[in-house]
Every structure is written in structure tokens, then in C-alpha cells.
Amino acid sequence: MDRRSFVRTTAAGVAAAATPGVVAAADRPSVANASAPAVHLRATRPVCVADVSSIRYRNGGPESAIERAFRGITEGEDVLDAIVAGVNIPELDPEERGIGLGGLPNADGVVQLDSCLMHGPRKWAGGVAGIEGIPTPSLIAKAVAELTDHHLIVGRGATEFARDLGFEVMDDLNTTASRELWLEWKRRIDPGHWLDPQERLDGMSRTGDETDPDVIGRRRPGGGEPMAWRRDPEREERIRTFHAAALAAGLSMVDDGLIDPDSFWGTTSLEAVTPDGDIAGVTTTSGLSWKIPGRAGDSPILGAGQYVANEVGAAGSTGRGEANLFNCASFLIVENMRNGMSPKDAGMAALTRIKDNTIESRLLNERGLPNFDVRFFVLNKEGEYAGVALYGASESMFAVCDENGAREEPLEGLLEGSPRG
């Protein structure tokens, strides 16, 4: 059965199923019958790599995400099914502040979640961004890959897509703890930096003068003068000042021990290679704490937050999403491995590019180096793996699970010291 036939025959069944959202393994074609790579003549060493949330949170159950994923891939479960079942564990754990239920909200106090994933052997991919009310965005990303011709659905459309599949849409993904942290953040920022909505409207002007370099606008459909706004340097400086204060307030909460530094930037990423050499990866996040509503970082974007090539390997990321987006670094890592680099060297080369492309003073610390961190979890077809970071002393560990069990190993840092000085 080809992919389009599969989509046509399974979409109705999923919508009517008692268990919402994903196709049961028995309803999907086996990997052997799908468009698969050539038969492997030798076994691969199975392994999963991930960020530390994948080993530190169990949601009251017997397994962590990485343990659940490894058990699945070694018991013959589809590689994508296994890793998504894994990350569902921390997504549903209210103690985890960087993803899913109880993830730290945006500046308006609303939890907006992102996820993307890739299935190596089938060459499927799916993602959602800015979805609300669904604590497991990885499941919706999986449904995008399995049931649609698209790779990314965003915002209200993503929420309605999930609702149509039968997922329960919760009114609020905040927990008592995440709501209290948001209120503390609001207390720490200067409320005078918020722009009054009416003031924003009053600052708008309609003009037909498209020769004025201080006018930003576009021609309205069907002709007529454009809707535009006249640039106001004072107003723009207030916006920049507010966002600087918002970030500083959040980091002060990290310094005061109110927020785990691993959770402030959010994100869980988990990559796996099976004994047959099949590869998949998934990334899921609540994004940067107190972000601008609607902001999406790298996590839902193929080639940034996650990239898989079944014949080569996989890479996933956590940390400053904008830096990763600018460099399409997960894709770069996989291409580096395609060209012969080891997982570690491929990751270090991508981190070097991020460092070299970070030149704005606001993004540099007193040493002239990036004032943020980015981490990559990388594996190749042979089961070799690495965990690398801009700063190995920031978030210092990553998770691994193989035949020797689940454990934490040190991240290898490109730069010494701390991103903040």
C-alpha cells in the first residue's frame, strides 16, 4: 500500500477510533512493506540519545522516556511509535517545566506547545507549532505525518486538527506551580513596558507615501493605498527594553532557584536507531519561558529542532531556538555525518558555525562569546552517538540508553565557562 492509499484508508478510522489521535500499529503497513531502504546485512547497535528530561522524569511510572523508547525499539516496535511513546511520559509529567502539561507559559500566561518528528525509513515528517490545550504535541505532530500531505500545522488550526481527531482539548495546561511562576515573573518586570493596546492603535497611520523610508506597509489587495505604520524610534526602543527586561526577570528566577535552568529554555529531544538500522527523532517543547505569544523557535521546524536521514543518522536540539533556526544546524549535522564526520565532530562543526554567526552585541557576553547555550544529541547509522553543547558547563549532562541501560553522560562543550560570563 502506498502512502496516499494509506492516508485515504486510515483517516476515517482514526477519527472514529476510541483511542484518539494516532494510528494503531496494526492498522499501518509494516516497515518491510513500506518504501524502505535496502535490507541491512548486519545488525546495528541500538541506542537512544536525548536531553536529561528524558531520563529524569517518569510521571509516577516505572520508566523514563528514554527507557520506554529503548524497550520499544528492541522489542520490535516501530521506531517512531517507540520514541513518541517515550516523550509522552515527560509531556504528561506536571513536574517537568519545559514541555507539555505544566510547561512554563508565554508572556500572556498561556501554554503554547511545539513539536516535530521524522520517521527515517518511511521518510515521513510532521510538526505543530503554537498548539494550545493538548499536553502531548508530539502525538499531533505524528498525526500530521501519518494522516496529511503536510509537514507543519500551526496555532488554532493545529488545535482544531487535534480536536477533529478526537483529542480532548484542555482549557488550560498550566498547573498551580507554572501559574505561580508566571505571576512571579510578571511581578519582576516593569509593567510600564507593556504597550497599551489603544496606544498601539493610535500609533497607526494610513499613508499613500511609499517613498518615505520610515513607512512600512504593503499595497492592499485590489489596489488602493496601503495600510501602514510610521516608524517611531521611541516606541521601538520601549519594545526592545521590555523584552530585555522580560528575559532578565526570567533569568533572575533561574538564579534564585525558582526555575530549573534546564527548563527555562524548554524542550525534550530524543533520537533512536533500531537493531535494523532504522532511525527516527522527535522534539517537543513549551518553548522559551514567557515568550512573545505566537513565537515559535526551532523545535517544530524540520532541519532545525530535528532532522533525520535514515541512511545517515539523526540530530535533535535544545537551547536557544533562534540560533539553531538561523543555522539550520540539525540538518547541517546530518549532512556533516553524510560527508564522513563522526557524530561528535559533526555536532562541534555546527556549534562552531553558530558561534561564528553570533555577532550582535546583545547576544554576546563580556568575553565576546554567545550569551546562550545550544545542545545537540546526535547518532549515526552504526549506533555511534554524541552529546555536544556550546557550553558543557551550563547544562552538563545528556541521556543515553543502550544495552548497558539508561544513564547520564557528560556533554562535550565547544567553549569553556558559562554563557553568562
Q: Which three cell numbers stand for residue 414?
A: 565547544
Angle at which helices 137-147 and 79-91 cross, to 10°: 150
Instruction: Identify the domain containing residue 60 by its residue range.
Output: 45-112+170-176+261-415
Q: Is residue 403 situated within a structural domain?
A: yes
Q: Is residue 156 situated within a structural domain?
A: no
Specify which of 188-192, 214-218, 343-347 reaches the highest per-range mean pLDDT.
343-347
pLDDT of 15: 37
pLDDT of 222: 53
Q: Is residue 238 situated within a structural domain?
A: no
Q: Is residue 136 situated within a structural domain?
A: no
Q: Tell me how far apart the alpha carbons of residues 22 and 27 are, in angstroms, rounded to a whole number.
A: 10
Q: Is residue 352 situated within a structural domain?
A: yes
pLDDT surpasses 60 at 377 = yes
Q: Is residue 275 situated within a structural domain?
A: yes
The rounded mean pLDDT for the chain is: 84
Q: Is residue 9 situated within a structural domain?
A: no
Task: Tell me what the mean pLDDT of segment 406-418 comes to.
Answer: 96
CATH number of the structural domain spanning residue 394: 3.60.20.30
pLDDT of 34: 40
- Structural domain count of the chain: 1
SS in 3 state form for the chain?
CCHHHHHHHHHHHHHHCCCCCCCCHHHCCCCCCCCCCCCCCCCCCCEEEECCHHHHCCCCCCCCHHHHHHHHHHCCCCHHHHHHHHHHHHHCCCCCCCCCCCCCCCCCCCCCEEEEEEECCCCEEEEEEEECCCCCHHHHHHHHHHHCCCCEEEHHHHHHHHHHCCCCCCCCCCCHHHHHHHHHHHHHCCHHHCCCHHHHHHCEEECCCCCCCCEEEECCCCCCCCEEEECCHHHHHHHHHHHHHHHHHHHHHHHCCCCCHHHHCCCEEEEEECCCCCEEEEEEECCCCCCCCCCCCCCCCECCCEEEECCCEEEEEEECHHHHHHHCHHHHHHHHHHCCCCHHHHHHHHHHHHHHCCCCHHHECCCCCECCCEEEEEEECCCCEEEEEEECCCCCEEEEEECCEEEEEECEEEECCCCCC
Task: Tell me what the mean pLDDT of segment 197-213 comes to.
Answer: 43
pTM of the model: 0.80
The string over 227-252, giving b where at least 16 C-beta atoms fall within 10 Å of a residue's C-beta and e elsewhere, is ebbbeeeeeeeeeeebbeebbebbee
Q: Is residue 37 situated within a structural domain?
A: no
Task: Tell me what the mean pLDDT of segment 183-211 comes to.
Answer: 54
Tell me: the pLDDT tens digits for 258-291? Answer: 877 666 667 899 999 999 999 999 999 999 888 9
Q: Tell me how far apart the alpha carbons of residues 141 and 285 are, in angstroms, rounded to a whole number.
A: 12
Distances (CA, A) of 335 to 62, 122, 307, 339, 382: 37, 19, 10, 6, 16
pLDDT of 237: 80
Tell me: the pLDDT tens digits for 334-356? Answer: 999 999 999 999 999 999 999 99
Of 290, 186, 294, 215, which Cα lies nearest the Cα of 247? 290
Higher pLDDT, 118 or 18: 118
